[in-house]
Amino acid sequence: MSGHAPIPYTTEPRADTGVSNVTMGFWLFIASEVMLFGALFSSYALLRVSAEDWPVGREVLHLGLGSINTMVLVWVLVLMSRTRRARVGHYRPLVLAASALALVFLAMKGFEYRTEWVEGVRPATNTFFAMYFTLTGLHALHVVGGLIANMWILAGASSVGEAMTRGRLQAVTRYWAFVDLVWLTIFVGLYLL
Amino acid sequence: MRIFSTDHKVVGLQYGWTSLTFLLLGFLLILLIRWQLAWPADPLPLGGLLGAGNAPGGFMLPEFYNQLGAMHGTIMVFLAVVPLAVGAFGNYLIPLMIGAPDMAFPRLNMLSYWIYLMAGLVMLASFFLPGGAANSGWTAYPPLSILATSGQTAWLVGMFLLIVSSLFASINIIVTILQLRAPGMTMMTLPFFVWSQLVTSFLLLLAFPPLQAAAILQLMDRLAGTSFFLPSGLVVSGQALAVSGGGSPILWQHLFWFLAHPEVYVLILPAFGIVAEVITTSTRKPLWGYRGMVGAALFMGFMSFLVWAHHMFLTGMGPTMSAFFQVTTMIISVPSVIILSSLVLSLHGGSIRFTVPALFALAFLPMFGIGGLTGLPLGLAASDIPLHDTYYVIGHFHYIVAPGTLFALFAGIYHWFPRISGRLLDERLGRWHFWGSLITMNLIFMPMFAQGLAGLNRRLFDGGRTYAASAGFEFTYELQAWAAVALGLVQLFFIVNLILTLRKPRTAPDNPWQSTTREWQGRS
């Protein structure tokens, strides 16, 4: 069967499952991501409850920077979800603005790391900071991943056509929602509690 | 055949040849181990080739022995058996069995293979690092693994890559099965093989990420000086370790076994699938209790996430926890028994043709039975305590994986080889391969139960010669060493068979076993 038939249901939903291949694949990916972060958050909880003393996040982390970053990331999602209603071709400025905000997030996160570094804080300082750097670092990598996905959509928009681009935008918007959710969990678990 | 192909058959074959190579490598490592265990006081034959850093004058150093043990387990489980069972058989056969043009995401499929290969090469290259490959066991328990030489870092990086590869593969398999089934093919008309791959993929998808998380944390411990898995007040070689402490070695065990117990079912479910196909073909009968088997596979997949701590009865987690995991462990044996019984009942009233694939599939049944039954005492805390970490455990899971899963995989290779290559493998060489493997594997693994019951611990480079328990067992070690050599020689029948057959013209009929499943209908 050389040069096989095109693969069906890539973007259009299959009747009996109700979803397209991309949508199903995306949710499976998110399921594995939930297990990844779930394991890390569980580790955090286990290490924290068994620790004799544990720093209060509000006091040792930069709550102001963290709060602003939370707002920034929420706005990334707001802008990305607006692309759904945007008219043909009009999603471009929204995606660009969202990506710029994501860059702001990364820059502020970098500034926060630098401040902590200057204060002499290292991952090896204690288990709280070990968890902080691991979780926020992995989350930042996910933000970078989202940025790359945004650029990939814009770059490919003209060649793959409107329907495919819409499908990709929807998937990547959901991805940003997941990235936001992880950040909120980090923010509450590490900065606030 | 293009090297960078997105075709599911090419990717499947690439997975197949690569994983068979790793299978051979993993076997060669254990051959060294078996020889060392039999004659720890003598130099290894050709031991000089291992290098003065590993075996000066041919005498194997304990440090090198530890590398062999860790890498045998890692290679066999993660680089040989799972990629062969899922990457090769799954990729090649699923689209053919469900009438799909290809996998749902062909490029992701190709990527999955190349990342797997990269992971394998990282693992192999680690033997050449200073201090050699990972030497803390395939389970990589801290604190040992965190204090270990740089091979452990390579192991973690390799593991991380493997998990990415298996993530891509499992997403692809699940979407392919659910979305690309031919019109009118309902879930309950899928071949059992396809069901087994579906459940396996869900396990890979959901169980591997926690190990990835654990690998990240262990990398941080090794590279950034954190103490996720290092407790306070750890003293190494008389020196207090300069880390902040406060970590938990037990946390690693939880994260590791949360993956590694479902992993056991990843090893066995595709084997059930292959055996089911081979048995129905060679008995000329449909599967007995198909619905029950599908239900059992689903239930087994679900339950496999709730049994992990039966590997940890000795960690002092308390009788309440032990009781919970004992109960779930006993429950999960039920679906295995349902599937095995259905396969045995499928033979009833059939007109069995004892072809080579049928022989391997039939031998799988009692061999897996031995492996399963000997697992029960390990699932109960009271009897696990004396047996933990002894050769009994090694015997138990090798019966599951070697004459169990591997036999199923061999059955699959002999069975589908004509579909893949248009040539039938030689029956006579196949029989020699089968009987030789069956006898030698039993000679290797059966004595392990006696050794373990006597209290001989695993992972001792001299086979525990300094312990009283080893008295009288020298003979069994020597028997196992010779049986391992014989097992290696018997595999030559298989290798020669592959080479000779591939040089012959394509003369096999389109459907040599008169199978009724879809992958044999219509040639391509």
Whether residues B102 and A4 touch (CB distance < 8 A) is answered with yes
Q: Can you give the pLDDT at residue B229?
A: 96
Mean pLDDT across chain B, nearest whole number? Answer: 95
Q: Which positions in chain A touch B210 (Cβ < 8 Å)? A: 35-36, 38-39
pLDDT surpassing 50 at residue B400? yes
Range among B231-235, B379-383, B481-485 rated most confident: B481-485
A21-192 belongs to which CATH class?
mainly alpha
Distance from C-alpha of B131 to C-alpha of B53, rounded to nearest angstrom:
9
pLDDT surpassing 90 at residue A12? no
pLDDT surpassing 80 at residue B522? no
DSSP per-residue codes, A25-86: HHHHHHHHHHHHHHHHHHHHHHHHHH-S----HHHHS-HHHHHHHHHHHHHHHHHHHHTTTS
CB-based burial label for B35 (10 Å; 0-12, 13-18, 19+):
buried
Distance in angstroms between the alpha carbons of the first and the last residue of chain B: 15
Q: In the structure, what pLDDT confidence band is assigned to residue A4 with cuts at 50, 70 and 90?
A: low
What's the Rg (C-alpha) of chain A?
A: 20
pLDDT tens-place string over residues B205-248: 999 999 999 999 999 999 999 999 999 989 998 999 888 888 99
pLDDT surpassing 50 at residue B348? yes
Q: In the structure, what pLDDT confidence band is assigned to residue A2 with cuts at 50, 70 and 90?
A: very low
Cβ contact B160:B107 at 8 Å? no
Q: Can you give the pLDDT at residue A1?
A: 40
Q: Which positions in chain A touch B206 (Cβ < 8 Å)? A: 31-32, 35
Mean pLDDT of the region B425-432: 97
Q: Can you give the pLDDT at residue B7?
A: 94
Whether residues B216 and A134 touch (CB distance < 8 A) is answered with yes
- Structure-block tokens of residue A122: 């290292």
Max distance between CA atoms of chain A, in angstroms, equals 65
Q: Can you give the pLDDT at residue A3?
A: 54
Whether residues B244 and A32 touch (CB distance < 8 A) is answered with no
Cβ contact B281:B515 at 8 Å? yes
Taking 3-state DSSP, the helix, strand and coil percentages for chain A, each rounded to the nearest 5, stand at: 75, 0, 25
Whether residues A134 and B227 touch (CB distance < 8 A) is answered with no
Q: How far is B440 from chain A (nearest CA, A)?
A: 41
Q: Which positions in chain B touch A55 (Cβ < 8 Å)? A: none
Angle between helix B89-98 and helix B192-223 axes, rounded to 10 deg: 150
Q: Which of A28, A36, A123 sits opposite B225 (nearest CB)?
A: A123
Q: What are phi and psi of B384, to 5 degrees?
A: -70, -30
pLDDT tens-place string over residues B146-177: 999 999 999 999 999 999 999 999 999 999 99
> With an 8 Å Cβ cutoff, is A18 touching chain B?
no
Whether residues A138 and B243 touch (CB distance < 8 A) is answered with no
**Other C-beta atoms lying within 10 Å of the C-beta of residue B282:** 25
Q: Which of B179, B216, B255 sits opposite A24 (nearest CB)?
A: B179
> With an 8 Å Cβ cutoff, is A141 touching chain B?
no
Whether residues B178 and A37 touch (CB distance < 8 A) is answered with no
pTM: 0.95
pLDDT surpassing 80 at residue A88? no
Q: Can you give the pLDDT at residue B165?
A: 97
Query: What are the boundaries of each domain within chain B?
Result: 351-514
Q: Which positions in chain B touch A14 (Cβ < 8 Å)? A: 179
> With an 8 Å Cβ cutoff, is B247 touching chain A?
yes
CA dihedral sign, ordered A84, A90, A91, A94: negative
Q: Which of A14, A31, A130 sits opposite B220 (nearest CB)?
A: A130
The B residues from 203 to 232 touching A (CB cutoff 8 Å) are 205-210, 212-214, 216-217, 220, 224-228
In this prediction the ipTM stands at 0.94
Q: Can you give the pLDDT at residue A53?
A: 87
Whether residues A43 and B243 touch (CB distance < 8 A) is answered with no
Q: Where are the alpha helices (DSSP H) in B143-191?
A: 144-147, 151-179
User: Nearest Cα to B79, choosing from B143, B123, B37?
Assistant: B123
User: Nearest Cα to A172, choosing from A98, A109, A113, A112?
Assistant: A98
Angle between helix A91-118 and helix A162-186 axes, rounded to 10 deg: 30
Q: Which of B210, B244, B247 sits opposite A125 (nearest CB)?
A: B244
Q: Which positions in chain B touch A123 (Cβ < 8 Å)? A: 220, 224-226
Residue of B171, B179, B523 to mutate, interface with A, max A Cβ within 10 Å:
B179
pLDDT tens-place string over residues B87-132: 999 999 999 999 999 999 999 999 999 999 999 999 999 999 999 9
> With an 8 Å Cβ cutoff, is A11 touching chain B?
no
Q: How far is A62 from chain B (nearest CA, A)?
A: 21
Distance from C-alpha of A175 to C-alpha of A34, rounded to nearest angstrom:
12
Q: Note if the bond before A55 is cis, omega within 30 degrees.
A: no
Angle between helix B407-421 and helix B474-503 axes, rounded to 10 deg: 10
N residues, chain A: 193
Whether residues A130 and B174 touch (CB distance < 8 A) is answered with no
CA dihedral sign, ordered B108, B110, B113, B114: negative
Query: What are the boundaries of each domain within chain A?
Result: 21-192
Distance from C-alpha of B204 to C-alpha of B223, rounded to nearest angstrom:
27
